[in-house]
Amino acid sequence: MIIDGGNDYVIAVKNNQPKLHSHIQHIATTKKPTSRIVETEKTRDRHTTRIVEVFHDSNGIDPAWTGIKSLVRVERIGTRKGKKYHEIVCYISSLICTAKEFALGIRGHWGIENCLHWVKDVVFKEDCSTIRLGNAPANLSILRAMPSAKLR
Protein backbone atom coordinates (compact mmCIF):
# COMPACT_ATOMS: atom_id res chain seq x y z
CA MET A 1 0.00 0.00 0.00
CA ILE A 2 2.89 2.38 0.81
CA ILE A 3 4.61 1.80 -2.54
CA ASP A 4 1.30 1.84 -4.46
CA GLY A 5 0.59 5.24 -2.89
CA GLY A 6 3.82 6.62 -4.36
CA ASN A 7 5.65 6.70 -1.01
CA ASP A 8 8.76 5.11 0.43
CA TYR A 9 9.53 3.43 3.74
CA VAL A 10 12.26 2.72 6.25
CA ILE A 11 11.06 -0.01 8.63
CA ALA A 12 12.87 -1.52 11.59
CA VAL A 13 13.13 -5.30 11.39
CA LYS A 14 12.80 -6.85 14.80
CA ASN A 15 12.76 -10.36 16.20
CA ASN A 16 9.11 -10.74 15.16
CA GLN A 17 10.53 -11.25 11.64
CA PRO A 18 13.32 -13.71 12.53
CA LYS A 19 13.99 -14.93 8.97
CA LEU A 20 14.34 -11.41 7.55
CA HIS A 21 16.36 -10.23 10.56
CA SER A 22 18.71 -13.22 10.25
CA HIS A 23 19.08 -12.64 6.49
CA ILE A 24 20.12 -9.01 7.00
CA GLN A 25 22.63 -10.06 9.67
CA HIS A 26 24.02 -12.72 7.30
CA ILE A 27 24.38 -10.19 4.45
CA ALA A 28 26.10 -7.77 6.84
CA THR A 29 28.67 -10.36 7.88
CA THR A 30 29.38 -11.81 4.43
CA LYS A 31 29.09 -8.88 2.00
CA LYS A 32 30.79 -5.54 1.68
CA PRO A 33 28.41 -2.62 2.32
CA THR A 34 27.55 -0.25 -0.52
CA SER A 35 27.92 2.62 1.94
CA ARG A 36 29.22 2.87 5.51
CA ILE A 37 29.62 5.60 8.10
CA VAL A 38 31.04 5.56 11.61
CA GLU A 39 30.03 8.37 13.97
CA THR A 40 31.09 8.93 17.56
CA GLU A 41 29.23 11.14 19.98
CA LYS A 42 29.95 12.12 23.56
CA THR A 43 27.34 13.81 25.75
CA ARG A 44 26.96 14.29 29.51
CA ASP A 45 26.64 10.68 30.62
CA ARG A 46 26.77 8.87 27.31
CA HIS A 47 29.45 7.90 24.83
CA THR A 48 28.20 6.28 21.62
CA THR A 49 29.73 4.98 18.43
CA ARG A 50 27.25 4.31 15.62
CA ILE A 51 28.15 2.23 12.61
CA VAL A 52 25.60 2.44 9.80
CA GLU A 53 25.98 0.10 6.84
CA VAL A 54 23.82 -0.08 3.73
CA PHE A 55 23.51 -3.10 1.45
CA HIS A 56 21.67 -3.36 -1.84
CA ASP A 57 21.70 -7.14 -2.08
CA SER A 58 18.09 -8.22 -1.64
CA ASN A 59 18.63 -11.71 -3.08
CA GLY A 60 16.99 -14.35 -0.93
CA ILE A 61 14.40 -12.03 0.60
CA ASP A 62 10.78 -13.13 0.41
CA PRO A 63 9.15 -11.26 -2.54
CA ALA A 64 6.20 -10.46 -0.25
CA TRP A 65 8.40 -7.65 1.10
CA THR A 66 7.50 -5.28 -1.72
CA GLY A 67 9.89 -2.61 -2.91
CA ILE A 68 12.97 -3.43 -0.84
CA LYS A 69 15.97 -1.66 -2.34
CA SER A 70 18.17 -1.27 0.75
CA LEU A 71 19.06 -3.27 3.82
CA VAL A 72 20.42 -1.15 6.65
CA ARG A 73 22.31 -2.32 9.73
CA VAL A 74 22.89 0.10 12.61
CA GLU A 75 25.29 -0.93 15.35
CA ARG A 76 25.46 1.17 18.52
CA ILE A 77 28.28 0.62 20.98
CA GLY A 78 28.89 2.74 24.04
CA THR A 79 28.25 3.55 27.66
CA ARG A 80 25.25 5.11 29.40
CA LYS A 81 25.77 6.27 32.97
CA GLY A 82 28.87 4.09 33.16
CA LYS A 83 27.16 0.93 31.88
CA LYS A 84 28.25 -0.61 28.59
CA TYR A 85 25.76 -1.44 25.84
CA HIS A 86 25.84 -2.94 22.38
CA GLU A 87 22.78 -2.84 20.11
CA ILE A 88 22.21 -3.89 16.53
CA VAL A 89 19.08 -2.76 14.71
CA CYS A 90 18.25 -3.74 11.14
CA TYR A 91 16.01 -1.87 8.71
CA ILE A 92 14.54 -2.44 5.27
CA SER A 93 13.85 0.43 2.92
CA SER A 94 12.41 1.18 -0.47
CA LEU A 95 14.93 4.01 -0.79
CA ILE A 96 18.44 3.99 -2.19
CA CYS A 97 20.40 6.31 0.10
CA THR A 98 23.88 6.59 1.54
CA ALA A 99 24.68 5.43 5.06
CA LYS A 100 24.92 9.08 6.11
CA GLU A 101 21.43 9.82 4.77
CA PHE A 102 19.94 6.78 6.52
CA ALA A 103 21.79 7.70 9.74
CA LEU A 104 20.34 11.22 9.67
CA GLY A 105 16.83 9.95 9.01
CA ILE A 106 16.94 7.27 11.69
CA ARG A 107 18.43 9.64 14.30
CA GLY A 108 15.89 12.30 13.35
CA HIS A 109 13.04 9.85 13.85
CA TRP A 110 14.29 8.87 17.31
CA GLY A 111 14.71 12.52 18.27
CA ILE A 112 11.06 13.17 17.46
CA GLU A 113 9.97 9.89 19.04
CA ASN A 114 11.86 10.54 22.27
CA CYS A 115 10.78 14.17 22.67
CA LEU A 116 7.16 13.67 21.69
CA HIS A 117 6.57 10.53 23.71
CA TRP A 118 8.42 11.83 26.75
CA VAL A 119 6.15 14.87 26.84
CA LYS A 120 3.02 12.80 26.27
CA ASP A 121 4.01 10.17 28.84
CA VAL A 122 5.58 12.30 31.56
CA VAL A 123 3.98 15.72 31.27
CA PHE A 124 0.52 14.68 30.10
CA LYS A 125 0.61 11.36 32.02
CA GLU A 126 -0.91 9.42 29.14
CA ASP A 127 0.55 6.15 30.40
CA CYS A 128 -1.49 6.56 33.60
CA SER A 129 -4.79 7.04 31.76
CA THR A 130 -7.37 4.31 32.31
CA ILE A 131 -9.35 5.38 29.23
CA ARG A 132 -8.75 2.67 26.63
CA LEU A 133 -11.90 2.09 24.54
CA GLY A 134 -12.92 3.35 21.11
CA ASN A 135 -11.71 6.75 19.96
CA ALA A 136 -11.53 8.18 23.48
CA PRO A 137 -7.73 7.71 23.98
CA ALA A 138 -6.90 9.46 20.69
CA ASN A 139 -9.41 12.25 21.33
CA LEU A 140 -8.08 12.89 24.84
CA SER A 141 -4.51 12.86 23.54
CA ILE A 142 -5.41 15.69 21.16
CA LEU A 143 -7.21 17.62 23.89
CA ARG A 144 -4.33 17.22 26.36
CA ALA A 145 -1.91 18.65 23.82
CA MET A 146 -3.98 21.81 23.32
CA PRO A 147 -2.50 24.78 25.20
CA SER A 148 -5.66 25.70 27.10
CA ALA A 149 -6.70 22.13 28.00
CA LYS A 150 -7.19 21.43 31.71
CA LEU A 151 -7.53 17.66 31.29
CA ARG A 152 -4.15 16.77 32.70
Cα 15–Cα 95–Cα 32 angle in degrees, nearest 5: 70
For the entire predicted model, the pTM comes to 0.69
- Categorize the per-residue pLDDT at 135 as very low, low, confident or very high, splitting at 50, 70 and 90: confident
pLDDT tens-digit readout, 59-95? 888 888 888 999 999 999 999 888 999 999 999 999 9
Q: Where are the domains of the chain?
A: 10-145
Among 63-72, 104-113, 125-134, the range of highest mean pLDDT: 63-72
pLDDT score, position 3: 81
Q: Is 43 exposed, middle or buried (0-12, 13-18, 19+ CB in 10 A)?
A: exposed
The answer to whether 84 and 110 have CB atoms below 8 angstroms apart is: no
The answer to whether 93 and 66 have CB atoms below 8 angstroms apart is: no
pLDDT tens-digit readout, 3-34? 878 888 898 998 888 989 999 989 999 999 99
